[in-house]
Structure formats: C-alpha cells, structure tokens
Amino acid sequence: MYLRADSSKCTGCRLCQLACALYRFQENNPKKSCLAIVPDFPDPGVFEVRTCTQCGDCVEVCPVECILQNEKGAYYIDRDECIGCLDCVDACPEDVIFTHADYEAPFECDLCEECVHFCAYGALYIE
Amino acid sequence: MLSGYGGQVLRVNLTDRTIEKTELDPELAKDYLGGRGFAAKILYSEVEKGADPLGGGNKLIVAAGPLSGLLIPGAGKTTFAAKSPATGGYADSNMGGLLCAEMKYAGYDLIIFEGISSEPAYLFIDDDTAELRDAKPYWGQGCITVETALKKELGEDFQIATVGPGGENLVKFACISHDFGRQAGRAGVGAVMGSKKLKAIAVHGTKDIPVADMEEFRRIGREMYDYCRASDGWEVWYRLGTAGVNVPSNEWGSFPTRNFQSGYFEEIETLTGEVMRETIVITDKACFACPCACGKYSYSKKWDIHVEGPEYETTAFLGANVAVSDIEDVAYANHLCDELGIDTISAGNVIAFAMECFERGIITGEDTRGLGLSFGDSEAVFELIEKIARREGIGDVLAEGVKHAAEVFGGDSADFAMHIKGLEISGYESRNAPAMMLAYMTADVGGHHNRAWAITYDIEVGRDAITEYKAAQVIELQHVRPLMDCLGACRLQWVELGMPLDYYAPAMKAITGLDRSWEDLLHISERVWNLTRAFWAREVEGFGREWDYPPPRWYTEPVPTGPTKGKFVAREDVEKLLDMYYNQRGWDTNGIPSREKLEELGLDFVAT
Amino acid sequence: MNNVQLTLVGLLKKCGPAQSPLSVESGRTVMEVITDLGLDPDLVAIVMVNGRQEFKSYRLQEGDNVKLVPMVGGG
C-alpha cells in the first residue's frame, strides 16, 4: 500500500497538510505534516507533490534501527528509540521525512489516508 | 491563549524603526472578530482626524481573522486597510492566498504599520523574530519579480506581500500583491504601503493555532469541506472560476463596455471562461484551504507571459470596457498590472474613460503626446498601464484616478467618470439593476461590488422595481459578506456553491469557545458597517447623501444598445432607494448614523 | 426524440419541473428549452453542455448532457 500523488492535479490548497497535522498531532499546523507541496512560480506555474513511497532507504541508514513498519506497511520512526541523528532525513530521496523544533525525532507518513479524503482535486490516492 | 487566534499584535513604527509586540486584546477579538473588524476599529481609534493618507499619520493595517489558517474552506483571506488616498475615506481590501494563515502560524493576528521609513524596508517575520530589513535592492522592481527573489533568498515557505512601481509611485489605485497573482486591489492600499517606503512583508511561522473544542471543530470543518466537494456547482466553478460569469453578465447587459456606455460587448465569444480554459489556462490554483480552486493560472503563447487569470473583473475592464476582444491581450494587460502593482479594475476603468474622452475630442494627441487612444486598441492599453504605473505623461493624470482625471480633462467628462466616492466602479453596469446600483452607491469603500452583489434581487422581483425589499437585501448582504472579511475566510464557498451559512456560528463557537449565534455575528458586522460610515463622516468634509450618488451616466443616460437598451435608473428612483436604505439602517436623511443606532451597536465612542 | 439529459442545479430545481434530471428533445436551442420549461432566462446564468460552457444559442445534439446553473450570489 502506497500513498501516490498526481502533481498535475495539485492546486496548492494545502488541505492535505492541514488534515495530516490535525490527525497526526491534533494541531492546526501544516509544518507538522508528512507530505511536501512545492510550488514552482511564476514559471512554469505548477505544484509538485511529494509523498512517501515506502522505499525503505531510511530504514537502511538508521544507526539504531528504530524505523519500523506499521500494520499498513508504512515505515514509521519509533520516537522513543530515535537518537535524533537525522540521517534518515538526509537519506530520503523524496525529502519527505520532516523535522520540527518541537520534537527531537523526525516524522513521516503513516498512511492514515486523511489527506486523500481532503484532496478535492484527486491528486492523492492509495495504490 | 486566545482560542482561534495567533494571540499577538505587531506594531511597526517605520519612522523610529521600532517593533512592539503586544498580546491581542480579548475584548477587541470578542467585539470585532478580526480582519476588517480590527481594521475599522483601529483606523477609527488611532488615525487622527484629517491625517494625510500618504503621510506618516496614516496607518496600514494587515489583519487575519479567527478562521484564517484553520481547516475551514477558504481560510486564507487577509485584510489590508488604511485611510484611502483615492477617496479620503475608509479603505479595506482583502486578498486570497496564504498570508493570513502564515501570520497566525507565526503567532500574529494583526500588524499595524505607522510612520514612514527613511529608506525602503521590508518586514521580516519568522515565528518570534520580527525585524525590518533593507529593501533598497528591491525598490523599483515588480511585484512578481520581488516575490520570486524573496522566496529564493528566504525560503519557499515564506509568504510574501509586496508593492510594485505602482505603489512606490503612489498611484491612487496601486495594489498589494501576493502569491503570484492575488491582490489587495482597491482604494489605493498599495499607495499607502508605498508611501511608507514599505516594499514587502515576508512571513514564516511554525506554531499551532489553538482551538477551544478540537473534536467539534474538526467535525464541522470536515462537513463544510464535504459539502463543497459534493455540491452541484463544484465542477462548473472549478472549470471556469470567476470567468464563468463573463457570459451571463453580458447576457444580463451588465458587462461594462466602452467605459460603461453599454453593458453588452458584441465580441464576447472570444472572451469566455471556456475560451480561456481551452487556450491559456495551465494550472488550477487555490487559496489556502480551499476545496474549489477558482484561480486559473495561465500562459499566453502570444506574449510569452504567465498570469493568474484573467478574472471576471479583469476581463470586464481590460477586455470589454476597453473593447479588446483577444483574451491573450487581456492576459498580457493583466500581467502588466500584476507586475507593476496596479489594480486592474481601476486601471481599466480609467483607461476606458481616457479613450472615451479621446474619441469625443475632450483630450487630443497633444495631451497624450501623440498616443492615439481608441477603443479596441490593445497596444494603447499596454502603453497606458506602463505610463500610469510610472506616472509618465498623461499617465500622471490617470494615476490620480478617474474622478481627478475628469476634473483635469474638463468638458462634460465628469458625467461619465465612472466612480462613486472617488473609487472607480467595478464590473457590473447597473442601469438595469437598481438593487445593484444601490449596492454600489452605499459600499463603504466607494464603487465596489464585494460588499453586496444584489443582481439576484433585481432578477427575483423584477428589474424595474424600486422597493423596500431591494434595500433590505442590500443591507443584509452588506452584513453577511463583510462578516467573512472579519472572519478571515472566503465567501465564495457560500456564494458560488451554496454552502450553508449555518456552519459559521457553530464553527466559531468550536474555534473560539464563545457561544454566539449567527445573529450575534451579524450584529458585529453591522457594528463595523456603521463604524466605517462614521469614519467617512469624520474624515470627509461635508460627507453625506451627496457622496452616495452614482455618476450622471447612470441616472441620465439610457443605455444605447444591447439587451438593456433604453434602461437607466432615474434620479428620483436613486433618491427613493437612498431614502429607503437610510431609513431601514436607522440613519438620518443625509445618511449619517443616528445616535440611537450607534449606541445600539456599542459605538458610543463615536463622536457625533 | 427526448435524448438529451438536462439537470437543473441549485435554486433552479424549485423553479422548473419537479423532476431533475429530465430528458428533453435534441434539435432545439438551449434558450428554447429554457422557455419551454417556464424558467426565467435571467435566472439561468451558466449553461454547461458535456462539461463545457456554451451560449444559450447552442443547438442541442443527440446524447448531450446539459447542466443549467443559476447565479445565486455573483462575485
């Protein structure tokens, strides 16, 4: 199971990021979301959506092996075991492991699917 | 922490280069909500009577609302406000995009700019850091250029608002630009920003916005979102955006054509939203948290430019009103205005006025330094936009607005200078729509439609009717629509998709923790409406009924052609509408709020 | 032949025939159909045919899918 994105449908509304942070952290704070929306304006004038493809590169580099898999098959960082080295953040080819000043451990998508519901444009889907 | 708010106010004194941070007053939040509410209260209380709008005594207000930045459809509307250099009265203009959301994530609901900077500066905000930085390298550059450069320098996550040469040169209809195509366009708020040598605002925030009842807020937000997405009109709105209105407006005879000579443009076929979609639109672009992206980001091959739009208003003014029928030419003119930082509505209004004066021989090639100004000449439109922004030649006169241009050009041109209170009328030719005309006459920034779009009621009860009902509907719209400007969210989910207004009071309760009904919220909006009226009465010498009149074209000149041929609203009907309106509002026959009305609304501090 | 499907959106549902969507004849213009249904043309703001905006002069073709959208509140 993977969260996929069709960037051509993205409008930059950030509802996905709002929904993600609300579900994950119970906060109104897109900076705590687990997917990236990257605008490229004024030219060409498009949005790029980057989601976790469950490639596992983060698992490979983690020095304390604290990146596990949940029941949906999504990789997640065990925040109690994480030492905050951020090697996973550097290793991620999609740049979708995120950090925030509030936490020592980074965070990544756990396939909760809230963003899929809140994308009115069909840019996000589970495959 | 105040639920639903960032919690802090930034007061930036540009003269002293000091920044003061204070806690947002809960009483202000309770009594005025946010956005335009904050703006009206602060401008009335803090700007000294008689202040020069382009001087150090004016204040530029930037305000988010309690809904801004939350998962509520369209929660991205920022209000900019000041005493207007165009009209001398109250000005606010709101802008879509993401700025107000980012302000709240940084912890701020309100920024108040005072004084004038000795050198071009920009305000840099990154969570708790707020400082003025040197903007000399950016001074003179266009809005799109500067936004691109600042995002490159500071980071893509920074939200930027900027003025262009228009604002720097104090064009009376200069706008403030954001997100590569959203503007706070009306009544010269961009000129106020430029007069303070404030080039830009750059904001980044990483904090949470607290809400009182998280579960209830999430439930309501989700329902609002689901309603929008499932609505019948979603597909249409998403496909066409505001450009979907081009065709019906033309059919109603309300599409301003050739300086509002008529309301029907014969060459509409090449200016439709469908033509736009099929030829130039490349990306659907949304404002913050919006499930019905109306932004149509476009690329014109003909001119090799990108632009957000053209929107309905821009197609009306840089298309039909100047008789330009090529959508790519409209797009190019739009792009010029966006980069130079001038309002497309006022620009197209003033340019069309100049064209009519030229065609009538009121101005000649001598006045225009050889530039021919005929309706339909898109090159003339492009050139005038540049001249206006840079105040060159005749551009220097036009940059003062259509009211002033008529005074300079003379003849009988004041009869067809299409402004109310000194603000150029926006995109609905209203001689066959008295309710709409009343809406324009009484809008509290001058001739603008965003307070009340009342054509619905002209259609509902008959075009010719001059009734208490029409006045009542205009008044109700003037409470509902600006309420959204206080809340910091977009009204179009309700206006275009029919999302029920019933959601807003429960949403506000869940967010702020304060139990208020929809009527309670409308009462606040009525308070703000009367406060801005009081501001006009205080600031404009002799303000009253006379200032609510439309231009003579609208009450003396029957429409010559098209579906509304022969229509106009007679002066006596204009007077009747005003009488009914003032009476229903509890204002005297000169249109000034009565003492009782002011007290009823908690506006005891307003002097009579 | 009633081979055009027509949907009334929003408040138009209350103004037209009770049933929506309904089938109408091809070969007529949208304006003619609006008049036949007893709708005020002023109320029909946007006409969508097969997902694209058309003028009221558009002549309906077999198999067309039409949506009539009112203008509730403008801009």
pLDDT tens sequence across B429-461: 999 999 999 999 999 999 999 999 999 999 999
Closest CA to B570 of B464, B413, B454, B455: B464
Q: What is the CA radius of gyration of chain A?
A: 14
* Band of pLDDT at residue A36, cut at 50, 70 and 90: very high
Q: How many CA atoms lie within 13 A of C73 on its CB side?
A: 24
Read off the pLDDT of each residue in B512-526 and give the average, rounded to a whole number. Answer: 98
Q: Which domains does chain B have, with CATH numbers?
A: 8-204 (3.60.9.10), 233-424 (1.10.569.10), 434-498+516-600 (1.10.599.10)
Which residue does chain B place closest to A12, by CA atoms? B286
Closest CA to B122 of B139, B113, B134: B134
Does C74 contact B233 at a Cβ distance shorter than 8 Å?
no
pLDDT digits (tens, 9 = 90+) for C55-69: 999 999 999 999 999
Contacts of B266 (CB under 8 A, 6+ apart): none
* Band of pLDDT at residue B419, cut at 50, 70 and 90: very high
pLDDT of residue B449: 97
Fold classified for A3-126: Alpha-Beta Plaits (3.30.70)
Confidence check: pLDDT of C11 > 90 = no
Q: Does C15 contact chain B (CB < 8 Å)?
A: no
Q: Does B272 contact chain C (CB < 8 Å)?
A: yes
pLDDT of residue B313: 98
Confidence check: pLDDT of A107 > 80 = yes
Does C74 contact B498 at a Cβ distance shorter than 8 Å?
no
pLDDT of residue B508: 98
**Chains C, A in contact: 3+ Cβ pairs under 8 A?**
no
Distance from C-alpha of B364 to C-alpha of B379, rounded to nearest angstrom: 17
Write down the pTM of the prediction: 0.98
* Band of pLDDT at residue C74, cut at 50, 70 and 90: low
Read off the pLDDT of each residue in A40-57 and give the average, rounded to a whole number. Answer: 96
Read off the pLDDT of each residue in C47-62 and give the average, rounded to a whole number. Answer: 97
Does C75 contact B459 at a Cβ distance shorter than 8 Å?
no
Q: Which domains does chain C have, with CATH numbers?
A: 4-70 (3.10.20.30)
Which residue does chain B place closest to A99, by CA atoms? B206
* Band of pLDDT at residue C20, cut at 50, 70 and 90: confident
Pick among A7, A14, A102, A115 to test the B interface (most B CBs inside 10 A):
A14
Q: Does B540 contact chain C (CB < 8 Å)?
A: no
| Residue B79, min C-alpha distance to chain C (Å) | 17
Candidates A38, A45, A120; nearest CB to B291: A120
**Chain B residues near residue C53 by CB distance under 8 angstroms:** 236, 239-240, 244, 247, 272-274
Does B228 contact A120 at a Cβ distance shorter than 8 Å?
yes
Confidence check: pLDDT of C19 > 90 = no
* Band of pLDDT at residue B607, cut at 50, 70 and 90: confident
Read off the pLDDT of each residue in B587-593 and give the average, rounded to a whole number. Answer: 98
Q: What is the DSSP string of A42-80?
A: TTT-EEEEE------HHHHH-TT--EEE-TTS-EEE-TT
pLDDT of residue A103: 97
pLDDT digits (tens, 9 = 90+) for B455-483: 999 999 999 999 999 999 999 999 999 99
Read off the pLDDT of each residue in B259-284 and give the average, rounded to a whole number. Answer: 98
Q: What is the ipTM of this complex?
A: 0.98
Token digits of residue B76: 């991205």
**Where are the domains positioned within chain A?**
3-126
Read off the pLDDT of each residue in A3-17 and give the average, rounded to a whole number. Answer: 98
* Band of pLDDT at residue A1, cut at 50, 70 and 90: confident
pLDDT digits (tens, 9 = 90+) for B91-148: 999 999 999 999 999 999 999 999 999 999 999 999 999 999 999 999 999 999 999 9
pLDDT of residue C75: 65
Neighbours of chain B (3+ CB pairs under 8 A): A, C
